[in-house]
Chains A and B, each alone.
Chain A
Amino acid sequence: MDELIELLEEINPEAEYRTCETLIDDGFLTSFELVMLVTQIQQTFGVTIPPTRIIPENFNSAESIYNLIRELGGDC
């Protein structure tokens, strides 16, 4: 989880990632930043995130992103 939070903070340091549950809805992650995050996650955790999984529900909180990575077999 800490490594994921670090990645998120590198992309946008303005959000409180441990508590925020509206990262996409409140614009903390724009679609461009979302793509950067996906790229970084794929490279860091060795998972492939299919485009169909890139939906707000999966990226609205650090926890949901963490769960997605675990579900796809990543070591997070």
Chain B
Amino acid sequence: MLLVSYKFAAFFAGLAVVYYSIPRRYQWVLLLAASYLFYAGGGPVYLLYPMATTLSVWLIARRLSAMERPSKRLLLLGLLLNFGILAVLKYTNFALGNLNRLAGTDYSVSWVLPLGISYYTFQSMGYLIDVYHGKYKAEPNLARFALFVSFFPQMTAGPINRFDAMKQELFAEHRPDSVRIWTGAQRMLTGYFKKLVIADRIGPAVSAIIASPEVFDGPYVLLGMLGYTVWMYADFAGGIDIVIGAAQILGIRMTENFDRPFASRSLAEFWRRWHMSLMQWLREYIFFPAASSRFSQKTAALFQKWFGKKCGRKAPVYIANLTVWLIAGIWHGASWNFVVWGLANCVVMLISAELTGVYRKFRKRFAFTGRKWYRCFEVVRTFLLFCWLEMFEYYPFMTVFAMTANLAASLASGSLADGRLQLLGLERADWLALLISVLLLVLSGILTGEKRISARIRRSPAWMQYAAVFGLFLAVLITGVYGRGYEASQFIYNQF
């Protein structure tokens, strides 16, 4: 069931009514039934996958929790089994594609990826590792654990929740709270605005630009770069707004996934504010364990012996960073493009890490680095760097550099007004709607960042708030893109 469909609207409205009508101690049971119903919408057979993960992780976690010294082998069994299912389903065709290229064969499989498999697998594996480390006890009730794995809002595009935080939210008894329901509905509306007005409008145009670099070169490379980032953000953050808002209406608070990422002043900061639940997961379950693994520490000792102390202590950082970005890359898509994109991010992050000391001295020496205009410069620089790195996702490796050079050469003389703009399928009104919507997003980002202003907005008279929400509703209704050109309701991050 897609989030942008009448089916979902009817499903969710019906659920909310029943949810607040039944005895509160059964609310979580209803949520489990609704989650399975939601998931079975794609075909009942797909329910088997989250069910297999639920059962295997629940059994292993219970066993681990009962042991005085939790067995590492048992943990590995759980990890291998579940990451194995994910790897086979998600990466078999990628592996076969590489084999075909090498051996000249033509093998492929036609498995359809279960919805949100990466999200619920990562979430369950986080739980298993936490239980192994004794952070909390395993959940004794299988049905309750099943709800944690398959709670329907998180099944489409995350966020990757944590059991210790979600437990209270999912199993508490929730009374209808008009303020919470109202803010949840506003959040959902904001999500639909991002998705239907921006993402689904700009998506086909950006797809056209990036699919034909030979046609759309020069300034169009920049348009594609910026447009791709806007598309990704509006689509993903829009989806997250919808699911967090939906959960909020049901009284459940999920972890946030975005914290105004485009206000970041460095790439490292950006990755702490974009897709936060995944990056936090990677930091906690991959980065630190990889850095303190026996392999890293042995490598550090060897490097220290061969190249000196400084080099030795950096070895674990390089190993951990490389591991994280390889996983982040392949997580985003089963193709070499994503692997290269991950590695490109890794290289930039390592260069920045090497320059940390220089930056610190630079900031200390020059007072202007504390000025507002310099901060703006850092924000723009980070934004452009992120946009440029995104090019590795959609262009082949060498094309990225060719198109960058091509863009640089055209900066002085290139123009967008040469007839190619019409090939993108957007009318003048579409460009205007996009421009206004993106400006609105930027403005709301700036305003919510200023605590005093956002507090004043929250205190504004009710009629003003209603008028703003009504305006947003009208904007979604009138300027939203409904099923035009391509399958408009498909979220990009659903495929993960």
Contacts and interface: CB of A to CB of B under 8 A. Distances in A.
B135 interface: yes
Interface size, B (range) = 20 to 34
Contacts of B316: 35-36, 38-39
Contact of A38 (B133, B291, B301, B357): B291
Interface stretch (B113-121, B282-290, B374-382): B282-290
Interface string B347-367: 000000100110010001000
A39 B312 contact: yes
B357 A42 contact: no
Interface in B123-147: 133, 135
Contacts of A39: 291-292, 296-297, 300, 312-313, 315-316
Contacts of A42: 292, 297
B301 A43 contact: yes
Contacts of B284: 51
Interface string A33-68: 101101110110000111110100000000000000
B268 interface: yes
Contacts of B391: none
Nearest to B130: A52
Contact of A35 (B291, B301, B304, B356): B291
Given A49-B292, A54-B288, A30 B313 contact: no
Contact of A33 (B133, B312, B320, B356): B356
Contact of A40 (B287, B313, B364): B313
Q: Which of B133, B288, B289 has the most CB of A within 10 A?
A: B288
A38 B304 contact: no
Contact of A50 (B292, B300, B313, B317): B292
A51 B289 contact: yes
B321 interface: yes
B24 interface: no
B357 A36 contact: no
B314 interface: yes
A14 interface: yes
Contacts of B356: 12, 30, 32-33
Contacts of B360: 12, 14
B283 to A, nearest CB: 7
Contact of A14 (B300, B314, B364): B364
Contacts of A14: 360, 364
Nearest to A48: B292
Nearest to A40: B313
A19 to B, nearest CB: 18
A30 B292 contact: no
A31 B353 CA distance: 9
A30 B135 contact: no
Given A12-B357, A31-B283, A36 B292 contact: no
A35 B353 CA distance: 12
A36 B135 contact: no
A14 B296 CA distance: 27
B288 A32 contact: no
A51 B130 CA distance: 11
A10 to B, nearest CB: 8
B268 A35 contact: no
Given A39-B291, A51-B291, 4 more contacts: A14-B364, A30-B353, A39-B312, A39-B315
11 contacts: A12-B356, A14-B364, A31-B287, A33-B356, A35-B292, A36-B316, A38-B291, A42-B292, A42-B297, A51-B288, A52-B133
For the complex of A and B, list the 7 residue pairs with the smallest distance between their C-beta atoms, beginning with the closest.
A51-B288, A32-B353, A35-B291, A51-B289, A36-B313, A39-B313, A54-B288
Interface of B: 133, 135, 268, 283-284, 287-289, 291-292, 296-297, 300-301, 304, 312-317, 320-321, 353, 356-357, 360, 364
Interface of A: 12, 14, 30-33, 35-36, 38-40, 42-43, 48-52, 54
